[in-house]
Structure 1
Amino acid sequence: MRPVLKFGAAAAVLGIATVAALSAWPVGVEPEPIELVGDIERGAYLARASGCIACHTNFEDGGAPLSGGAPLPTDFGTFYPPNITTDPDFGIGAWTVEDFARAVRQGIGPDGAPYYPTFTYPFYADFSDQDIADLWAAFQTVPPVAENAPSHDVVFPFDQRWGLKLWRAAYLDDPATEPLDGKSDVWNRGRELVRGATHCGACHTERNLAGARVLDAVFAGNDALPGGNDAPSIRSPDLIAGGWTVSNLAYALRTGITPSGDAFGGSMGEVVMYGTSFLTPSDLEAMAIYLLDSDVAGIEMADAAIPHATEGEAD
């Protein structure tokens, strides 16, 4: 056999072996049993904050809540969020709470396959067992929908899920949601929400060629969102320069109305409509205080400025 052919054959064998090894390479960790009793109302609140309804419901086509199917066009192809209703065949009705915990916190399905990072699981990694139990209890109240969401339409080589294991090794990071010493409880609550459940950095942070967030550009804005949208910088100096205050930012997150009287459009409009508009005044204030880095306890913000607030706290 000629040297070139030998080299080609060897390379092919090596490539096949590498793919096989990556396919067999386990990722994540097996979750501990979760036996806590979940609070349905708190779980529903956390689901709203986390964008579950907004992402997993195809509103344009009149889809049932959480039945999936809303297209997300990207440079890598079009992704379709799955059905996460209680249907046992097409949704998550056959899952255990541990399966659910692994999916939400680690981005790994019951079969051990990693999810694409269009699912914002990296922001949920610090959810507690009680958070998971609450979410699980809330999801059990969702009516089943016996309908499969479309399969992802992703171009090669991004359709090869084993490659996501390399992506995770290179780019998966833990969310910075832990409280910081020297900061108030309300500032730390805002940090927990902004960097965790509400995952503001998913849109307001630039992505690299691999689709990973550029971590030294967190909150600095992104002009290449799916669907041709863009997200401005939400760093404190830029917000302040733009005339944002704790009161008007909290109000905008509740109503979608900006200080100029304009309304949020595009993906931010959906974030407010299906997510932050359901948050309590205290959580909206906390988010605004954190984003503006205005850590002054007891900043005056009349509840009347945020009408029809959801009753109860998430803590």
Structure 2
Amino acid sequence: MSLLKLVSRSVIAASLASAFSVALADADPDRGEYLVRAANCVSCHSAPGGAVFAGGVPFPTDFGTIYSTNITPDQTTGIGGWTFEQFEAAMRRGVRPDGQHLYPAFPYTSFTRLTDDDMRALYDYFMRLKPVSAQAKENQLRFPYNQRGLLSMWKRLYLNESAFTPDATQSEQWNRGAYLVEALAHCSACHSPRTTFGAEDSSDLYRGGVLQELDEERGLRKRGAPDLTPSPHGLGAWSEDDIASYLKAGINSRARLMGTMNEVVLNSTRHLTEADTRAMAVYLKSLTPSANASARPGTKVMELGSKQYDIHCGTCHLPTGLGSADTGPPLSGSAFAQAPDPSSLIDLVLNGPRLPIEAPSSAYLSRTWQAMKPFAQQMSDEQAAALLTFVRNSWGNAASAVEPMDIDRLR
């Protein structure tokens, strides 16, 4: 399943646990609202043009389309009639009040790790919202995936209900970051590959994933999510400052916010405290770097790609791939350019960057990189594929080759 929008020291551990609930005084007058922002509930449960949290957002998967539901406290169409115990069952075990299983497009596989205090704060927040009457749309899943009963077997294989346990060998900051990344922000949902049955591949967490989006003009389109581990083809070239700045301000010295991450930063991470975005950066930089098994592309493809790079890209990104503060970000060591699935990179080159609808920060506005133009009409499929293969395998980069058919599918 590819999901949008596509873890006798007990006394020490207990003393650390209090650090994982957000402090009201430091973060937000309403702790529940802060937690909802950290979990980015609004992006998945608010359809364009619809009421906030009223659901109706489509999630294309390999098995059909799933629609998010109404999580306002409406008694009939929302969760207004749910007790806390029923809310907790949905969040931790993926079970509705009627006993039916929820599809794991809803990331209860991550939310199951939330602390009891955070779970209660979330429930209290949602129950204070203005009720909105909005009936859930019917999912459009093929048989047998429309049979919710089969999820009981899926859960036995893939759902780990164990609570988040602080690691007493790590700092309080590291543990806070782990809790945010693994539970609240559920970063692995998009940034991990998935098994045949749609579960996150536990052996490859944060190594990059694939999700699908519905483009208003072009229909269903794949997107590739980068590797978040500190490998040379992931975030190895990013410092803790780079990661924290990207999450908080939408920009750093290596990348500018665009594409699928727009809603994550605009709706979620920019609202977090600097301490929390820093903690997330500390945790991500501590992950085990992923390995790269990509074969080196052939000389002919690299030569064609080098030529296309000189014509279309070298002026802004420089022949060295290092870019400059005035023209364009570096491509050397770029996690985006080396994502396991190149779909997002292809979309960028063909159609130009999908920039956020608003600047997430003043720092974002201060960056003077030139706006990249679309190249769909300037290169053939073969030329574009060679160019991207060259970028993904030059200046120390190493990633799979891009094929002409990959370009054709995404035009």
- SS of aligned partner of 1:79: strand
TM-score (norm 1): 0.76
Deviations 1:256-313 (A, max 9, x none): 22433532312x221111111111100000000110129xxxxxxxxxxx879xxxxx
Q: Higher relative contact order by CA 8 Å / sep ≥ 6: 1 or 2?
A: 1
Q: 1:11 is matched with which residue?
A: none
Instruction: For 1:247-286, list aligned pairs within 5 A.
Output: 247-266=241-260, 268-286=261-279
Asked if 2 retains the 8 angstrom alpha-carbon contact of 1:123 and 1:175, the reply is no
Q: After TM superposition, list the pairs within 5 Å mapping 1:1-315 onto structure 2.
A: 41-58=30-47, 60=48, 62-174=49-161, 177-222=164-209, 224-227=210-213, 228-238=222-232, 242-266=236-260, 268-293=261-286
- The one-letter code matched in structure 1 to 2:35 is L
CA distance in 2, matches of 1:69, 1:159: 18
Q: Which amino acid in the other structure matches residue 237 of structure 1?
A: S
Shift in CA distance, 238/193, structure 1 to aligned 2, threshold 3 Å: farther
**Is the Cα–Cα contact under 8 Å of residues 258 and 264 in structure 1 kept in the other structure?**
no
The SS at the match of 2:254 is coil
Tell me the equivalent position of 1:299: none
Distance 1:241 1:43, change over 3 A: closer
Separation in 2, partners of 1:260, 1:154:
40
CA distance in structure 2 between the partners assigned to 1:307 and 1:104 by the alignment: 36
**% identity of equivalent residues:** 39
Distance 1:146 1:282, change over 3 A: same
**Structure 2: unaligned runs, 5 residues or longer:** 1-23, 214-221, 288-360, 364-411
Q: Could you tell me whether the CA contact under 8 Å between 1:190 and 1:287 is conserved in 2?
A: yes
CA apart distance, 1:112: 1.0
SS at structure 1 position matched to 2:281: helix
Residue identity in the other structure for 2:280: M
Partner of 2:396: none
Query: Are the counterparts in 1 of residues 227 and 235 from structure 2 also a CA contact under 8 Å?
Result: no
Letter in 2 for 1:49: A
Give the deviation of 1:163 after TM superposition. 0.5
TM-score by length of 2: 0.59
RMSD after superposition:
2.0
> Hey, what does 2:15 align to over in structure 1?
none
Q: Take 1:98 and 1:241, find their aligned partners in 2: how far apart are those partners?
A: 39
Instruction: Note closer, same or farther for the CA distance 1:195–1:241 as it changes in structure 2 (3 Å cut).
Output: closer
The alignment of Structure 1 onto Structure 2 pairs a total of residues equal to 255
| Contact 1:124–1:175 (Cα < 8 Å) also in 2 | no
Secondary structure of 1:230's partner? Answer: strand
Aligned to 2:403: none
User: C-alpha deviations, 1:79-106, integer Å up to 9, x for none?
Assistant: 1000011110010111111111111111
- CA change 1:178–1:42 in 2 (3 A) is same
- What is the distance in 2 between the residues matched to 1:213 and 1:261? 26
Query: Which runs of 5 or more structure 1 residues have no equivalent in the other structure?
Result: 1-38, 295-305, 309-315
